[in-house]
A and B are shown apart, each in its own frame.
Chain A
Amino acid sequence: MKEKVKQPFVRFVRRENVTVRRTAAVLTAAILFALVLGAVLLAFNGTDPFSFYWTVISGNFANAIAFRNLIRAIVPLLITSLGIAVAFKLKFWNIGAEGQFMMGAFFAMTASLLLGNALPSFLTVVLVALIGGLGGALFGGIVGFFKVKFGTNETLLTLMFNYIAQYFVAYLLNVDFYRRPGGGIPVFKSLPTSAWLSEIRIGNFSFDTALIVALILVTGIFLYFKYTKHGYEIAVVGDSPNTALYAGMNVKKITLRTVLLSAFLVGLAGALQLQGPASGHTMSTGITGGMGWTGIIIAWLCRLNPFGILLGSSLMGILERGCEIARLNSGVSAASADILQGIILFSVLAFDLFIRFKPVFRKKTEGLKGGSDETAGQPGSDATAGEG
């Protein structure tokens, strides 16, 4: 093993503290960088990037309907992402949001179809939403149970559960209870009107009650993380399960409780999406719209901070809706949104390093070849060779 020992050109040293200001600055730089990259790509493609970006942003605020649609796109993503953040805070890698969202919607649909219009609408709406949340919690809770009981890998198990939920819902299209009567392509029944979310109108603008739920949840989760005993326990277990055990915490109970809460919120997002107008009050196999995946990325990149997630999902909503508007207006391909989204995510992921780490450049005098004193005694040191 004769490998050249070389001081790397640049290495990264972990920062002592992560400040909000640096985080904001780095994230802004990352998004700007991604937009420039995206502009180059668009220009190559024969689209004027400036007018495209302008349409993406201004299109969402051009009229009351566009703005209403924007809010409708943001809300489910926001709630999903909040739910994921709860589990991630505990370092429980719940990537099963797609499935929990789906099962939330499924339970809500079942409840709504059973209840019909028998109860007062307000009661039905709340009941259906809560049952949806419980459905999500049940689905996520199964994984949580196996995790605390046997230490099953939750990343892979929640991933499998996504597809189990997906095909389960696809199967329901064969069931008369769920399927709209009549021939042709099978479609799910719409919810009875009692379970529909109501719209709140202020002047020209209108929004669904789900927005209020979402904003309450943002504040609630923020307070839950920061000021409650549960929040403290989550932080300790997430940081070091051994410390938590040593401190006498019931790690298994805390884990299961947190996973249930996480999956409940995601299930609730699914239920509200189904009850809202964005889905046409109708279940479909594509009801998640990939929000379970996007939500994970948003939760992580916004550093699991509820207000950060509010901002992150708003930006993502603006991008997605804006690209759709640009597509309708100027025929830019629908995939532009996905690819821009991908570039932005990669860029933020890459820049994220500068929030947590500090680059240290090689000094001119040291280490071109042969061991420098810092890496001496460690032949074959890797690129992140660090100081002690």
Chain B
Amino acid sequence: MEAFIQFIVQSVRYGTPLLFGTTGEIITQKSGSLNLGVEGVMAVGAIGGFLFATWTNSLILGILAAFVCGALCGLLFAFLTVTLQANQNVTGLAMTIFGVGLFQFIGQNLTSGSGFPAMSAELAAKVGENGIPLLRDIPVVGDLLFSYNPFVYLGVVIAVLCWVYLFRTRTGLKVRAVGENPAAADGVGVNITRIKYLNIMLGCGICGIGGLYLGMVLRSGRYDGYGDWIAGYGWIAIALVIFAAWSPAKAIGGSFLFGLLLSLQAYRGAVVSIWPAGLSWMNAIPGEFYQMLPFLLTAVILVITSIRKKKDGGSPTALGLNYYREDR
């Protein structure tokens, strides 16, 4: 049982960066923009937030900096795709190359120069698995729900707020209208440009926090001068947007499920140990299959929703299409 609880706890830890990335990307996509550059945005958020956090020795300022760095990437993306009408797919891919490149550039120069900054003990303690006082002492439930680092709770709160924003506010209605049919939204007086800019920036800012989480918690702030901190998480987040049917609320469950899949590779022994007779087949399946599973599941879901032709999949109709008023 202890091992199983550990496994769940690890799943949540692995899933949290996905929660940020997915929630951010949902906001962006709901306004009609397909940003394939989540990986790059998270990388920029990670390095910007981490440097600021270690410099000021403050977690909150670091999170804000990660948000701002992510939002700046979003500003660049919005400027290129909304104002300059550049192709969204291509801009997103360029963002990935640029963002990861910037991360490596800064990281490598710091490593070879003054040395890559380390988190102070105080900062490291803040991002530790401190949990919520008192509540975390409840047996089992305390471990499962109240034993995490502050990012986990921040992520859940942001996801819930984003759900309320998108589906329960007037502005959210406008955002969804822009994503579904910008020409119609324009016709009733919605400012398309402003909605798109703000939501792309908001979405990318949230992705940036996810990058910081990866750096501070999962990578413990260590950089080896070679591998970047994001390592594919941004792409999984894009997959998860589809899996979560473009709903930040579903993204909460979805990202912990994907986190579970990601940690299965390393921790499946713990799962098997619960019921060895029935679950031993899990050990026989190669680890790569578990890594592939998030993408395989998403592909299957994509195909199934398209076969059923259901519109409640949540995919914005105008996703990936630039809006140019004269084409209306």
Contact = CB atoms under 8 A, between A and B. Distances in A.
Nearest to B322: A384
A140 to B, nearest CB: 14
Nearest to A3: B191
A151 B306 contact: yes
Given A164-B299, A335-B101, A384-B325, A297 B94 contact: yes
Contact of B105 (A333, A352, A383): A333
A153 B91 CA distance: 19
B84 A95 contact: no
A50 interface: no
A39 B34 CA distance: 31
B232 to A, nearest CB: 8
Contacts of A199: none
B191 A380 contact: yes
B289 interface: yes
Interface stretch (A100-108, A166-174, A251-259): A166-174
Nearest to B99: A342
A160 to B, nearest CB: 4
B75 to A, nearest CB: 12
A338 B191 contact: no
Contacts of B242: 156
Nearest to A14: B326
A356 interface: yes
A161 B299 CA distance: 7
Interface stretch (A75-83, A206-214, A343-351): A343-351
B38 to A, nearest CB: 11
Interface string A281-293: 0000000001001
Nearest to B189: A380
Given A339-B102, A342-B97, A160 B193 contact: no
A160 B299 contact: yes
B84 A350 contact: yes
B236 to A, nearest CB: 8
Given A341-B101, A346-B94, A353-B84, A386 B36 contact: no
Contacts of B105: 333, 335-336, 338-339
Interface string B86-124: 110111011111111111110111001000000000000
Interface centre among A153, A293, A297 (most CB of B within 10 A): A153
A231 B298 CA distance: 33
A167 B288 contact: yes
Contact of B288 (A45, A170, A335): A170
A349 to B, nearest CB: 4
Contacts of B80: 346, 349-350
A250 interface: no
Contacts of B299: 157, 160-161, 164
Contacts of A164: 292, 295-296, 299
A84 to B, nearest CB: 11
B6 interface: no
Contacts of B36: 95, 159
Nearest to B107: A335
B295 A95 contact: no
B100 A338 contact: yes
Interface string A122-163: 000000000000000000000000100011110111011101
A386 B76 CA distance: 23
B295 A297 contact: no
A300 B90 contact: yes
B286 interface: yes
Contacts of A384: 83, 193, 324-325
B235 A301 contact: no
B171 interface: no
Contacts of A61: none
Interface residues of B, number: 61
B315 interface: yes
Contacts of B307: 150
Contacts of B295: 160-161, 163-164, 167
A45 B302 contact: no
A383 B324 CA distance: 10
B325 A382 contact: yes
B143 interface: no
B292 A167 contact: yes
Interface centre among A336, A349, A380 (most CB of B within 10 A): A349
Contacts of A387: 326
A339 B98 contact: yes
Given A163-B292, A379-B189, A380-B190, A155 B89 contact: yes
B291 interface: yes
A69 interface: no
Interface string B183-200: 000100111111000000
A328 interface: no
Contacts of A386: 325-326
B288 A342 contact: no
B303 interface: yes
B193 A382 contact: yes
Contacts of B107: 335
A343 B87 CA distance: 16
Contacts of A336: 105
B19 interface: no
Given A338-B105, A382-B191, 5 more contacts: A95-B36, A146-B306, A170-B291, A382-B192, A384-B193
Interface of B: 34, 36, 76, 79-80, 83-87, 89-91, 93-105, 107-109, 112, 186, 189-194, 232, 235, 238-239, 242, 286, 288-289, 291-292, 295-296, 298-299, 302-303, 306-307, 309, 315, 320, 324-326
18 contacts: A14-B326, A95-B89, A153-B315, A157-B299, A160-B239, A163-B232, A163-B239, A164-B295, A171-B288, A293-B93, A296-B93, A300-B89, A339-B102, A342-B95, A346-B91, A349-B87, A382-B325, A387-B326
4 nearest A-B residue pairs (beta carbon): A342-B98, A338-B101, A335-B104, A167-B292
